[in-house]
């Protein structure tokens, strides 16, 4: 017969348990944050953190103007209670109302100094007591409490950690402490209004800790998320489009203190929309249950945690819809900005292309400006390659623009002639121009200047405009071709680069296509190449520019053989890439 008995678990070696608890803190920055939290819990209005050297050894001082260590029945700081009540914080005995604004729970934060330095000296003065101190040594169970040799000027606590470890010195610079506390204690700093100043005497710099400010646009209609039976989750969420390489994170907080750096660290929430890298901010839930001996160990089996998950999931459809709207608006804005860049690039190279090229026909929305068309100059306007400020030599050639044009009946067209020397330096003086129209399809109005106007009649056909430039005994000739066409009925369309229409077809292989009926270029934003190019504005601009180059070549040379089309594409891209 087996004898039944009841018993209770008991710690056999208390010191071993204390060592294990102390070593749970491996992050020096977190250990400093817990010391600052102790100051906030003691109603401090000012906290000063000093990093300095003494006798060639680094030390860290956290000083506050709080209430100080509670007094015993003798009216002095009760260090004995601190020594003998590890894992039995008095804060746990408070009611929920009394706990408001107090974060510590298991009275283990002080032991975190082991990961910072070798020795801790705590100096405390209350309003109605003299100054006392307690000394603790790393990996030692012995403590020493006594009256301080020097009286503290004001009430509060000084925590002095000497002989800092090398590993701690690397991460406890003034700047790094500032950045860490600004995020880690963001809520507590905002709520308490405490002023935290860091004086780094090693680097001779001073910092003030301000609660981290999130970027982007706040989601105003999601601020308090109700849970079933465990109060509200305070939400401060922002829609943000981070720079390339930056990561947007949603911090998980508990009563103003960060317990998880990212919502994605919670496996149950590592999904859309949180994985899109478009949401930044924090979710603060006061009812998380933290496992004893840990700093961020949320108890997943607890009912309060399950209520948190359910509440967060309830807002995800709303966030997805909002992100889709913002992403679409952002895409349209970026598209307009990129199209301006692409249009300018095509304008800059247009005069370098052969005469065979012409623009797309686009839908007209009111009066079409040159900027909307993508046109800055008349097609084929000649640009000299030399410095126009050079002194020109003898007449080398004459250029007429446009060299090829179509003009409707009963209309007119302006032609310009320019003279250059053999080095393409423009000649502005002492050149006479003689204009002539061949055929009977119109009349030419011109004198000896650089400009002539050809007026068409009522017949269609083709004619030639000739110009002869004369400088002393030197003459040079050139000509342009004019095609007279029937007068077209107003079509509501003009010439230029059409605005793209983005289509999401991830399963299709096409990247772009010209839609003749609608007069638009469709760009497949579901294609992998488009998604890869969205990493930066420059890469997306170059990608869209190449798509327009492809469509322009296919538009102008639809019947050529494939190898010739490819040659034309290289011809266009070689000039375009310099501008993009």
Where does a domain end: 209, 229, 262? 209
Please state the separation of Cα 484 from the chain's center in Å. 55
Instruction: Report d(CA 429, CA 476) in Å as an integer.
Output: 15
- CATH code (residue 478): 2.60.40.10
Whether residues 417 and 290 fall in one domain: no
Whether residues 561 and 477 fall in one domain: no
Whether residues 128 and 161 fall in one domain: yes
Please state the separation of Cα 477 from the chain's center in Å. 58
Where does a domain end: 308, 324, 340? 324
Cβ partners under 8 Å of residue 124, min gap 6: 68, 69, 77, 79, 131, 132, 133, 134, 152, 156, 157, 158
User: 197 and 36 in contact (C-beta within 8 Å)?
Assistant: no
Whether residues 205 and 284 fall in one domain: no
Domain that holds residue 551: 493-579
Whether residues 194 and 62 fall in one domain: yes
Give the pair of three-digit tokens for residue 500: 């793209």
Whether residues 42 and 157 fall in one domain: yes
Whether residues 157 and 45 fall in one domain: yes
Determine, yes or no, domain membership for 337.
no
Whether residues 163 and 75 fall in one domain: yes
User: 162 and 55 in contact (C-beta within 8 Å)?
Assistant: no
- How many folded domains does the chain comprise? 4
Whether residues 265 and 135 fall in one domain: no
Residues facing residue 170 across a β-bridge: none
Whether residues 564 and 464 fall in one domain: no
Give the pair of three-digit tokens for residue 242: 């981070």
Whether residues 235 and 313 fall in one domain: yes
- CATH code (residue 68): 3.30.565.10
Determine, yes or no, domain membership for 331.
no
Which has the closest alpha carbon to 227: 316, 313, 308, 319?
A: 308
Q: What is each CA distance from 421 to 390, 426, 466, 477, 513, in whole angstroms?
A: 11, 7, 19, 13, 44
Residues facing residue 432 across a β-bridge: 470
pLDDT at 313: 96
pLDDT in tens, the chain (580 residues): 557 777 776 666 666 766 776 676 788 999 999 999 999 999 999 999 999 998 888 999 999 999 999 898 888 898 888 777 665 544 444 444 444 444 443 345 677 899 999 999 999 999 888 999 999 999 888 889 999 989 998 899 999 999 999 999 999 999 999 999 999 899 899 989 999 999 999 999 999 999 988 989 999 999 999 999 999 999 999 999 888 788 999 999 998 888 899 999 999 999 999 999 999 999 999 999 876 545 556 877 789 999 999 999 999 999 999 999 988 888 778 778 888 888 888 888 887 777 667 788 776 544 444 444 444 334 444 445 555 567 889 999 999 988 878 788 888 888 989 999 988 889 988 999 999 998 888 999 988 888 999 999 888 888 999 999 999 999 999 998 888 888 754 444 457 788 888 888 989 999 999 988 888 899 998 899 998 887 677 888 899 999 999 998 888 887 778 888 899 899 899 988 888 8
Count of beta carbons in the 10 Å neighbourhood of residue 162: 17
Q: Write down how long the chain is.
A: 580
């Amino acid at each position: 017969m087996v004898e039944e008995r009841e018993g209770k678990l008991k710690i056999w070696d208390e010191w071993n348990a204390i060592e294990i608890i102390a070593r749970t803190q491996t992050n020096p920055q977190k250990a400093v944050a817990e010391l600052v939290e102790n100051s906030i819990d003691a109603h401090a209005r000012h906290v000063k953190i000093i990093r300095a050297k003494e006798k060639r050894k680094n030390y860290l001082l956290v000083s506050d103007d709080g209430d100080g260590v509670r007094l015993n029945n003798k009216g002095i700081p009760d260090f004995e209670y601190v020594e003998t009540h590890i894992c039995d914080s008095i804060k746990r005995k408070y009611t929920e109302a009394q706990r408001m604004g107090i974060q510590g729970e298991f009275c283990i934060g002080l032991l975190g100094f082991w990961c910072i330095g070798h020795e801790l000296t705590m100096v405390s003065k209350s309003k109605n007591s003299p100054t006392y101190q307690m000394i603790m040594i790393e990996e030692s169970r012995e403590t020493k409490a006594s009256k301080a040799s020097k009286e503290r000027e004001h009430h509060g606590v000084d925590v002095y950690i000497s002989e800092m470890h090398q590993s701690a010195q690397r991460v406890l610079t003034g700047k790094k402490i500032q950045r860490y506390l600004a995020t880690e204690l963001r809520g507590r700093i905002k709520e308490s209004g405490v002023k935290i100043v860091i004086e780094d005497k090693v680097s001779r710099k001073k910092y003030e800790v301000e609660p981290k400010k999130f970027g982007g646009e706040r989601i105003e209609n999601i601020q308090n998320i109700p849970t079933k039976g465990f109060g509200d989750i305070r939400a401060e969420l922002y829609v943000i489009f981070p720079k390339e390489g930056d990561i947007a994170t949603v911090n998980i907080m508990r009563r103003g203190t960060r317990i998880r750096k990212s919502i994605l660290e919670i496996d149950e929430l590592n999904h859309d929309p949180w994985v899109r890298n478009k949401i930044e901010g924090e979710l603060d839930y006061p009812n998380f249950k933290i496992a004893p001996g840990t700093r961020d160990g949320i108890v997943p089996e607890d009912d309060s945690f399950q209520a948190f998950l359910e509440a967060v999931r309830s807002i995800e459809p709303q966030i997805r819809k909002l992100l889709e709207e913002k992403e679409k608006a952002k895409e349209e804005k970026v598209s307009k900005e990129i199209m301006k860049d692409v249009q300018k690039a095509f304008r800059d190279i247009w005069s370098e292309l052969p005469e065979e090229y012409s623009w797309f026909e686009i839908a007209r929305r009111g009066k079409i400006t040159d900027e909307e068309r993508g046109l800055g100059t008349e097609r084929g306007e000649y640009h000299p390659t030399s410095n126009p400020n050079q002194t020109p030599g003898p007449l080398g050639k004459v250029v007429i623009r446009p060299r090829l044009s179509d003009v409707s009946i009963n209309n007119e067209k302006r032609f310009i002639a320019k003279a250059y020397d053999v080095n393409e330096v423009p000649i502005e003086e002492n050149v006479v121009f003689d204009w002539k129209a061949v055929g009977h399809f119109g009349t030419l109005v011109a004198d000896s200047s650089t400009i002539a106007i050809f007026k068409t009649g009522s017949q269609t056909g083709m004619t030639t405009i000739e110009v002869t430039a004369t400088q002393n005994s030197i003459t040079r000739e050139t000509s342009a071709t004019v095609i007279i066409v029937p007068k077209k009925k107003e079509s509501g369309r003009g010439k230029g680069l059409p605005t793209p229409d983005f289509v999401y077809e991830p399963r299709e292989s096409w990247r772009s296509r010209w839609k003749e009926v609608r007069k638009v270029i469709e760009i497949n934003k579901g294609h992998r190449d488009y998604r890869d190019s969205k990493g930066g504005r420059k890469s997306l601009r170059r990608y869209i520019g190449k798509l327009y180059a492809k469509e322009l070549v296919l538009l102008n040379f639809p019947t050529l053989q494939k190898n010739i089309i490819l040659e034309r594409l290289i011809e266009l891209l070689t000039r375009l890439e310099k501008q993009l």
